[in-house]
Amino acid sequence: MVAKTIKYCSLASLLAIADISAYAQSPEPGKGFAVIELFTSEGCGSSPAAEELLPKLETEYGDRLYTLEYHVDYHNDEGWNDEFSNKEFTARQEKYGSLLGVKPIYTPQAVVNGTVNVLGFDKKDLSNLVEKELRKADNEPITLSAKKEEGNIVIDYETKLDENEVLNIALVQLYGMNEVKAGANAGKKLEHSNIVRELRVVNTSRGEGRIPLPQDVDLTNFHIVAYKQNKHNMAISGVNEVPIK
């Protein structure tokens, strides 16, 4: 799978050349929204173009668009180890691949609201998918808050979950930067936004979760994003985001 994925990344290279309340419900319930999950890697030469696109789309579509970077680990043996990568995120992408008929998986892949996907750097196609979701997808309410407490992030959440739904709770780093020394992006300074660092999945509609954090973490650079998702077809039905107080 890795070897085939490398080929896809190389092909992609050729093709490519607001204040938030600390305790809030999902903004504009009943309005359209879109969640972009970008599967990316510092070891893929095509990924930087996709990552650069995400902040531009957020500026264009405002607070109804949520973007998340999931750094996968299958490029790590190609000369550069992506410190943000996680094998669990690779497994998440593989599940999407099975459901969406994308085999082998590749980077950069953008999945919108869990049900449609496109090359992550293709602005026209990605914008079309986002606009389609904004017209049709209701943002079901999620009440959410997050605070630091004795070295942990304590997250309180409440929503309505259908029998087949789960709530994804993501610890998101708003900004990160690395100077890549080897691999496909050797010599480049890569800037990242909305990097998922931890992902917890719960199946209760109300509760409290805890995520441990090192003491030296700057919490102003982190948010919590929670989004409801069907565990079978992966359709996303609601999302909310809050800072950590």
CATH number for the domain spanning 61: value is 2.60.40.10
For the chain, list residues with pLDDT below 50: 1-8, 10-23
pLDDT score for 217: 84
Helix (H) or strand (E) holding 40: strand 34-40
pTM: 0.89
pLDDT score for 167: 98
Supply the range of the domain harboring residue 123.
2-243
d(CA 91, CA 232): 15
By the 8 A CB rule, do 190 and 108 touch? no
**Backbone conformation region of residue 61, classed left if phi is above 0, alpha if psi is from -120 to 50, else beta:** alpha
Kindly report, residue by residue over 146-203, the tens digit of the pLDDT. Answer: 999 988 999 999 999 999 999 999 999 999 999 999 999 999 999 999 999 999 999 9
Distances from the Cα of 243 to the Cα of 131, 157, 180, 234, angstroms: 26, 14, 29, 26
Query: Per the structure, how many domains does the chain have?
Result: 1
